[in-house]
């Protein structure tokens, strides 16, 4: 089989780093405003300060996100794939990772409404690596057109084509679609019902507020279904050779 190399360029956004930077700064500023408000005995300072501090991030949202966004160049071949991260506006190499297909045990993926592909790679040594690619393609486009996922999936299937079943790279289902996930989900339903009953007995006038928990559970049930549908769709997907 010809070891042809495929190149693809995308972007990645490190949401965790952004959150870890934003949270302490935001909390410190809110704490400072509250302290000043208490010292001056003017609660309106705290109110207006909170509104202003909470509004400013939205004004600079694009610049803030760009600070944690990197350009990524991906290289795929039959032996491995390489991920190179560069500064968004320059050619300065920030990080480089390579993965041999033979070292990968399984992978998991999901797609967000903001056209971001989340890919988790589980290695045979027990470690894992998570990626988020801003590919500007929705789920259907990412599955059926040239994208980070479709190229990755093509090479996974190429690798699996001549391997024994126990050696293949497998698609890992989302947690909520597994038996432990279902157990957790149905346990939450039972706890929510118990909570509503107790609330009704102790405070019947406000027990309707307890139904708020069901909105959260309904969201989890919807996610379980979408994760299961995606898992089945990928398993039935015919890989397409990446083309320019």
The tens digit of pLDDT for each residue in 57-79 reads: 666 666 667 777 888 999 999 89
Pick from 146, 172, 198: which residue ends a domain? 172
For residues 30 and 34, give the distance between their C-alpha atoms in angstroms, rounded to a whole number: 6
Q: In what order do the strands lie in the sheet with 93-100?
A: 93-100, 80-87, 69-76, 6-13, 128-134, 116-123, 104-111, 170-171
On average, the pLDDT of the chain sits at 83
100 and 193 share one domain: no
Percent of the chain with pLDDT over 70: 91
Strands 116-123 and 69-76: unpaired
Alpha helices (runs of H) in 60-178, residue ranges in sequence order = 61-67, 139-144, 148-160
Amino acid 219: pLDDT = 83
Pick from 148, 172, 196: which residue ends a domain? 172
Digit-coded pLDDT (tens) for 171-215: 998 888 888 888 888 888 888 888 777 877 777 776 676 667 777
For residues 75 and 227, give the distance between their C-alpha atoms in angstroms, rounded to a whole number: 28
Amino acid 27: pLDDT = 82
Amino acid 57: pLDDT = 67
Amino acid 212: pLDDT = 74
Pick from 154, 172, 190: which residue ends a domain? 172
164 and 194 share one domain: no
Choice between 206 and 162, residue whose per-residue pLDDT is larger:
162
What total of structural domains would you count in the chain? 2
Does residue 143 surpass a pLDDT of 80?
yes
Amino acid 61: pLDDT = 65
pLDDT band of 83, cuts 50, 70, 90: very high
Choice between 55 and 82, residue whose per-residue pLDDT is larger:
82
94 and 45 share one domain: yes
- Tell me the mean pLDDT in the region 115-131: 89
Yes or no: say if 239 and 153 are a contact pair by the CB < 8 Å rule.
yes
Does residue 127 surpass a pLDDT of 80?
yes
Amino acid 102: pLDDT = 92
Domain residues for the domain of 75 are 1-172
142 and 189 share one domain: no
147 and 192 share one domain: no
Strand partners, 13: 69
Amino acid 225: pLDDT = 87
- Lowest average pLDDT, out of 12-21, 147-156, 171-180, 189-198, goes to 12-21
pLDDT band of 22, cuts 50, 70, 90: confident
86 and 97 share one domain: yes
């Amino acid at each position: 089989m010809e070891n042809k190399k495929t190149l693809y360029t995308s972007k990645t956004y490190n949401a965790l780093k952004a959150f870890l930077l934003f949270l302490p700064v935001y909390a410190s500023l809110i704490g400072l405003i509250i302290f000043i408000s208490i010292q001056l005995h003017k609660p309106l300072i705290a109110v207006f300060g909170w509104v202003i501090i909470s509004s400013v991030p939205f004004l600079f949202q694009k610049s803030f996100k760009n600070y944690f966004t990197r350009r990524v160049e991906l290289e795929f071949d039959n032996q491995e794939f390489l991920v190179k991260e560069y500064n968004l506006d320059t050619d300065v190499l920030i990080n480089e990772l390579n993965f041999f297909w033979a070292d990968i045990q399984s992978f998991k993926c999901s797609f967000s409404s903001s056209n971001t592909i989340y890919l988790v790679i589980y290695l045979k040594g027990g470690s894992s690596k998570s990626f988020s690619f801003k590919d500007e393609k929705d789920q259907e486009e990412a599955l059926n057109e040239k994208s980070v996922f479709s190229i990755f999936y093509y090479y996974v299937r190429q690798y699996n084509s001549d391997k024994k079943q126990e050696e293949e790279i497998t698609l890992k289902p989302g947690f909520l679609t597994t038996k432990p996930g279902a157990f957790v989900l149905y346990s939450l339903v039972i706890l929510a019902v118990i909570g509503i009953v107790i609330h009704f007995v102790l405070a019947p006038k406000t027990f309707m507020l307890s139904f708020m928990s069901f909105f959260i559970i309904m969201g989890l049930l919807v996610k379980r279904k979408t994760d299961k549908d995606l898992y089945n769709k990928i398993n039935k997907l015919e890989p397409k050779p990446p083309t320019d």
